[in-house]
Amino acid sequence: MLSRKPKEEYWKRRDKVRRVLIEWGIRNGLVRDINREHSVGVLEKIIEATQKRKPEEPARYFLNGLNYSRIKHGRSPLSVSLKNNKK
Whose CA is closest to 35, among 60, 59, 18?
18
**pLDDT (0 to 100) of residue 19:** 96
Range of the domain at 52: 9-72
Residue 30 lies in a domain: yes
Does 24 map to a domain? yes
Taking the alpha carbons at both ends of the chain, their separation in whole angstroms is 52
Is 51 within the bounds of a domain? Answer: yes
- In a domain, residue 48? The reply is yes
**Domain count for the chain:** 1
Q: Within a domain: residue 66?
A: yes
pLDDT tens, 36-83?
989 899 999 999 999 999 999 999 999 999 988 888 877 776 765 455
